Amino acid sequence: MGKFRINADLYYPPGPWGLQQRVANAMVEIIDKDAPGRGDDVIWSGTSDSRGHLEGQSSDWQDSVSLPELVCDEYKTVLNKRICVRSHWSTQAVPDLSDVRVLVARIRHRGWDVTVPYPYLNDQQPTIPLVAPPPFEPPPNLLPVLTPQRALVLVNHLVGPGPDQWRRLYEFMNVAGPAVASQILSNKYSNLVPLVGPQATRHAFLQALNAQTTPNSIRAVDTILNLHGSADHVVFADGSVHVRDLKDQLLQAGRGKLRMLYSTACYGASHADRWLAGGYRVVAGARAVNANSMIEYPTVLSAWGNGATFELAIDLGEREETRIPMDDIARGMGFADVNSDKTVAGSRWLTLSSPPS
């Protein structure tokens, strides 16, 4: 009766890092405050996860009191009535109705120790936001990534690997891909590095990542891939590569700074786990043949550049009312196994200002 569900998200106080910077790995106790002299009860303790979330089940919050109780040890029946002939006094624990539920959360993290109210109503209420008061603040690596601290590497190679009958289309996309990205995002990054056509080799891609992650001033490097793809493979200008074969080189070149990878390659969803293993924090790619880039691509880039979470940016770009008709058109043009629906893998809540660590 006195137990309830713990369900809360822990945030730093508002500051230069924004309004929703979560506190990971904080020690938290949920405490029921009692009247002076009666002692407070710790009814749950745990550590916030990597997203600042707290989840669990409390112990009983309500105190009990002992009341005297007469317990019968022996009964006899007299004139058809059952009568106690031997008994003793005992005590019975019952809920203390004078104990009112007053909950607080004690938060300890990086030397700080603060207590805030825990506004629990019932187990059906939404996740409780717990905001730690000042002087709580994120460590430097969690401060927002500003424009001078971001770099973007764009890899765009579609002419050549694709079928000849669609050469005109791929030539247009080879020009449009970098142009649209530059128009929308050039003022959102300190460096925008385009690798287009024959420049879009595997070696040049890794070299560009290495060059952008080397300066201490750069904290996050994002990537846009406009390449052809098949299951588990992407096609650079110098040939097809199994994405798993890039893992070690990505980890070395990325220096822990790789953040977002948006792929318009066909079968990009099959590549996602490999990109994540190589150090990227969040990745999106198509389930099968991708035919929706003309509408999706500028929408995703605009939403991302304006501060949307990566997941929301993808959702806005691939709305069913545009994605499904585009897929139908592609099937009518002779493309098989078309499904432009994107999967988002990894830290889908990241934004343009989120640190990669």
CB 163 within 8 A of CB 42: no
Whether 84 and 108 map to the same domain: the answer is no
Are the C-beta atoms of 278 and 247 separated by less than 8 Å?
yes
Q: Domain tally for the chain? A: 3
Is 52 in the same domain as 70? no
Residue 354 domain flag = no
Q: Are residues 261 and 310 in the same domain?
A: yes
Residue 357 falls inside a structural domain: no
How far apart, in whole angstroms, are the C-alpha atoms of residue 153 and residue 253? 13
Residue 351 inside a domain? The answer is: no
Residues 205 and 239 reside in one and the same domain: yes
Instruction: Identify whether the C-beta of residue 194 lies closer than 8 Å to the C-beta of residue 238.
Output: no
HSE, CB side, 13 Å, CA atoms: give it for residue 171: 5
Tell me, yes or no, whether 188 and 126 share the same domain. no
pLDDT at 105: 96
Looking at the structure, do residues 72 and 167 belong to the same domain, yes or no?
no
The per-residue pLDDT for 91 is 81
Q: Indicate which CATH number applies to the domain containing 261.
A: 3.40.50.1460
Element (H, E) at 73: strand 64-78
The letter for the amino acid at 14 is: P
- Which candidate, 345, 235, 326, 239, places its Cα nearest to that of 284? 345
d(CA 263, CA 212): 19
Residues forming beta bridges with residue 191, ordered by sequence position: 151
Q: What is the pLDDT of residue 26?
A: 96
Query: Are 36 and 169 contained in the same domain?
Result: no
**52 with 69, same domain?**
no
Q: What is the CATH number of the domain that holds 52?
A: 2.60.40.10
**Spatial distance between the Cα atoms of 276 and 296, rounded to a whole number of angstroms:** 22
Whole-number Å distance between alpha carbons of 149 and 215: 10
Which is nearest to 106 in space by CA: 163, 49, 48?
48
Cis before 135? omega within 30: yes
Q: For residue 196, what are the β-bridge partners?
A: 156
**How much is the pLDDT for 58?**
93
Say if 158 falls within a structural domain. Answer: yes
69 shares a domain with 57: no
Distances (CA, A) of 58 to 38, 66, 102: 20, 23, 14
Asked whether residue 291 falls in the same domain as residue 319, the answer is yes
Within a domain: residue 167? yes
State which H helix or E strand residue 87 sits in.
strand 81-95
Within a domain: 352: no
In the beta sheet, which residues pair with residue 15? 18
Give a yes or no: residue 83 inside a domain.
yes
314/349 Cα distance (integer angstroms): 11
Q: For 92, list phi and psi in degrees, rounded to 5.
A: -130, 130
Range of the domain at 213: 147-346
Q: Please say whether the dihedral angle defined by the alpha carbons of residues 294, 297, 300 and 306, taken in this order, is positive or negative.
A: negative
Q: What's the predicted TM-score (pTM) here?
A: 0.69
Query: Are residues 207 and 126 part of one domain?
Result: no
- Are 42 and 78 within one domain? no
Please give the DSSP secondary-structure letter assigned to residue 222: E
Burial of 349 (0-12, 13-18, 19+ CB in 10 A): middle
The pLDDT of residue 39? 80
The secondary structure of 138-199 as a DSSP string is --GGGSPPPGGGEEEEEEEE-TTTS-GGGHHHHHHHHHHHHHHHHHHHTTT-SEEEEEEGGG
Q: Give domain status of residue 355, yes or no.
A: no
pLDDT in tens, the chain (357 residues): 578 999 999 999 988 777 788 999 999 999 999 877 778 889 999 999 988 999 999 988 776 777 788 888 888 888 888 988 888 888 877 677 667 888 999 999 999 999 999 999 999 999 999 999 988 888 887 788 999 999 999 999 987 765 666 667 667 677 889 999 999 999 999 999 999 999 999 999 999 999 999 999 999 999 999 999 999 999 999 999 999 999 999 999 999 999 999 999 999 999 999 999 999 999 999 999 999 988 999 999 999 999 999 999 999 999 999 999 988 988 988 888 999 999 999 999 899 999 997
- Treating both helix axes as pointing N-terminal to C-terminal, what angle do 167-185 and 293-305 enclose, rounded to 10 degrees? 10
